[in-house]
């Protein structure tokens, strides 16, 4: 017994001090932890996202000396896309006064939503997490711009209508939804059912169990039989390249298959080889390096060997650029918070206000060197998402190119769903706090 007591004592001793040891060292800094997954089964998509997020913030440090003269302290915490490890990360960074968290996993997001308001740390779950958290009146501390999965599904239906020549042509058509048989994958179903009723198309569901991500032959037999006119793929990880490969094997036209933005990684399409050409995915950021912001990243970060990217060609991939976009939102939120409060060193509560005041216009995008890279984003007190535009990107064999205009989500269909879901969340969680945070006047 003594030995185990001693061992326990040692562990206690080692861990009691942990968070205190690395406090943010410089006075004039904001601490931005990035939860990333460079290991584990989903590392393939996690690495480019992590690199993009990191490199943009590093570029701001190198080029401008941070944000508004305040250095950004960037710290990555490895989650391996595992909820348990993600929550550990949160506990480890919580006491170091992060200005916001960035969980990068729906599972971790769900865990942290109730804690955000208690710990006064806002959370940015960029186009993932809980769709209902777009309702700022119920979730004052959670933000999920630029679009929810419901927006994505409505963009898909609009795109389908555009391809067929109008919403009236949707009648009698078939839309297949291949989805991961988990909450993330099932999320678009209520909206699509709604739209199917409205426009008279038929919705076919093809669930893929999490254990069968790489074994979809049975599903594709059904798809072969049903021959849907379009397929929307709400998939993740190994499920996406498998779906692309199966589409090719089953002679399904790849060009009729559109993935959600997380099914739009370069590796998802690359796995299908030359025949994957034409595969499509929704996106809200452009690929490539032909933007001033990307050139700055190469100049200030990659060339100085400060990036973790080894191969220069990986800069500009769809998911890398999405990481850049994510960090741009973080940086702009901090900048807005500085402007609203007049403080240089902002804290979590200030950045929450910054996120609510986020208004990235075309002009601002141009200043950021992102003209044409992304669509304007506007978040308000009540609307923590903005339901901003997305477009359809097409795989041309080597990279994704923009294959449609910026498409507006069907907001009047999405918003009621969100408000109903948010209300239900609040009512089923007894003790859910009423919003007490005041709204800033839009500037």
* Residue numbers at the binding site for another protein (CB under 8 A): 1-5, 8-9, 11-12, 14-22, 36, 38-40, 76-78, 80, 83-85, 87-88, 91-92, 94-95, 107, 110-111, 114-115, 117-118, 130-132, 181-183, 186-187, 190, 209-211, 421, 424-425, 428-432
Reduced to 3 states (helix: H, G, I; strand: E, B; else coil), residue 116 is helix
**Is the Cβ–Cβ distance between 356 and 379 less than 8 Å?**
yes
Characterize 272-281 residue by residue with b for buried, 16 or more Cβ atoms within 10 angstroms of its Cβ, and e for exposed: beeebebbbb
CB of 432 to another protein, least distance (A): 8
**Nearer of residues 188 and 357 to another protein, judged by Cβ:** 188
CB closer to another protein, 78 vs 229 = 78
| H-helix segments, 17-130 | 18-21, 43-64, 83-94, 106-119
How far apart, in whole angstroms, are the C-alpha atoms of residue 262 and residue 278?
A: 17
Provide the b/e sequence for 16-30 (b: ≥16 CB within 10 Å). Answer: eeeeeeeebeeeeeb
For the bound state, the minimum distance from the C-beta of residue 277 to another protein, rounded and expressed in Å, comes to: 33
State the minimum distance, in angstroms, from the CB of residue 19 to another protein: 5
User: Would you state the structure tokens that stand for residue 208, as one six-digit string?
Assistant: 């893929």
> What is the number of alpha carbons within 13 Å of residue 88 lying toward its C-beta?
13
Sequence-separated (6 or more) residues with CB below 8 Å from residue 165? none
Q: 184 vs 373, which CB is nearer to another protein?
A: 184
Nearer CB in complex with another protein: 11/401 = 11
Query: What dihedral do alpha carbons 330, 439, 114, 73 form, nearest 10°?
Result: 30
Cβ 47 to another protein, closest distance in Å?
9
The residue (of 39 and 163) whose beta carbon lies closer to another protein is: 39
Find the shortest distance in angstroms from Cβ 110 to another protein. 5
Nearer residue to another protein within complex by CB, 245 or 352: 352
- Residue 14 or 274 having the CB closest to another protein: 14
The torsion angles phi and psi of 440, rounded to 5 degrees, stand at -80, 150
Q: Which is nearer to another protein, 131 or 283 (CB)?
A: 131
- If the CB atoms of residues 76 and 275 are measured against another protein, the closer one turns out to be 76
Q: Which residues contact 103 (CB under 8 A, 6 or more apart)?
A: 35, 79, 86, 90, 109, 112, 123, 125, 129
Torsion angle, CA of 56/62/68/69, rounded to 10 degrees?
150
CB 153, min distance to another protein, A: 13
Smallest distance from another protein to CB 230, Å: 24
Closest approach, Cβ 214 to another protein, in A, equals: 16
**Local structure of 174: helix, strand or coil:** strand
Select from 130, 93, 98 the least CA-distant residue to 114. Answer: 130
CB of 326 to another protein, least distance (A): 18
Instruction: Compare residues 164 and 349 and give the one whose CB is closer to another protein.
Output: 349
Region of residue 120 (left: phi > 0; alpha: psi -120 to 50; beta: else): left
Q: What are the C-alpha distances in Å from 232 to residues 153, 208, 279, 285? A: 8, 13, 11, 19
* Residue 165 CB, nearest approach to another protein (Å): 33
| Cβ 236 to another protein shortest distance, Å | 12
Closest by Cα among 111, 117, 156, 115 to 130: 111
Residue 13 vs 165, nearer CB to another protein: 13
């Amino acid at each position: 017994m003594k030995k185990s007591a001693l061992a326990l004592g040692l562990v206690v001793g080692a861990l009691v001090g942990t968070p205190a040891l690395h406090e943010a060292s410089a006075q004039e800094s904001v601490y931005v932890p990035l939860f990333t997954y460079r290991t584990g089964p989903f590392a393939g998509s996690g690495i480019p996202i992590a690199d993009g997020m990191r490199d943009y913030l590093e570029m701001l440090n190198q080029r401008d000396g941070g944000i508004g003269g305040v250095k950004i302290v960037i710290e990555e915490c490895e989650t391996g896309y595992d909820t348990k490890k993600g929550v550990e990360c949160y506990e480890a960074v919580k006491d170091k006064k992060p200005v916001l968290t960035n969980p990068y996993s729906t599972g971790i997001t769900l865990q942290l939503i109730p804690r955000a308001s208690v710990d006064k740390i806002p959370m940015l779950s960029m186009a993932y997490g809980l769709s209902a958290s777009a309702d700022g009146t119920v979730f004052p501390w959670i933000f999920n711009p630029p679009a929810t999965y419901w927006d994505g599904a409505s963009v898909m239906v609009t795109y389908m209508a555009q391809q067929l020549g109008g919403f009236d042509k949707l009648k009698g058509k078939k839309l297949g939804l291949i989805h991961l048989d988990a909450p993330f994958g099932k999320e678009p179903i209520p909206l699509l059912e709604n739209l199917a009723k409205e426009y008279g198309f038929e919705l076919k569901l093809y669930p893929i169990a999490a254990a069968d991500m790489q074994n979809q032959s049975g599903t594709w037999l059904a798809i072969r039989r049903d021959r849907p006119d379009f397929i929307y793929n709400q998939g993740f990880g190994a499920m996406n390249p498998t779906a692309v490969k199966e589409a090719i094997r089953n002679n399904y036209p790849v060009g009729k298959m559109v993935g959600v933005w997380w099914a739009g990684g370069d590796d998802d399409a690359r796995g299908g080889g030359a025949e994957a050409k034409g595969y499509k995915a929704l996106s809200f950021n452009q690929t490539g390096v032909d933007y001033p912001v990307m050139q700055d990243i190469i100049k200030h970060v990659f060339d100085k060997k400060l990036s973790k990217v080894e191969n220069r060609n990986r800069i500009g991939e769809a998911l890398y650029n999405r990481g850049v976009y994510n960090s741009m939102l973080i940086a702009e939120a901090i900048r807005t918070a500085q402007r609203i409060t007049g403080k240089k060193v902002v804290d979590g509560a200030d950045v929450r206000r910054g996120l609510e005041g986020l208004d990235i216009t075309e002009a601002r995008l141009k200043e950021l060197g992102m003209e044409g890279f992304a669509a304007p984003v506007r978040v308000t007190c009540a609307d923590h998402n903005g339901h901003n535009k997305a477009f359809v990107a097409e795989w041309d064999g080597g990279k994704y190119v923009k294959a449609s205009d910026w498409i507006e989500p069907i907001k009047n269909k999405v918003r009621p769903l969100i408000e109903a879901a948010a209300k239900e969340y609040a009512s089923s969680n007894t003790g859910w706090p009423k919003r007490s945070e005041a709204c800033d006047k839009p500037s």
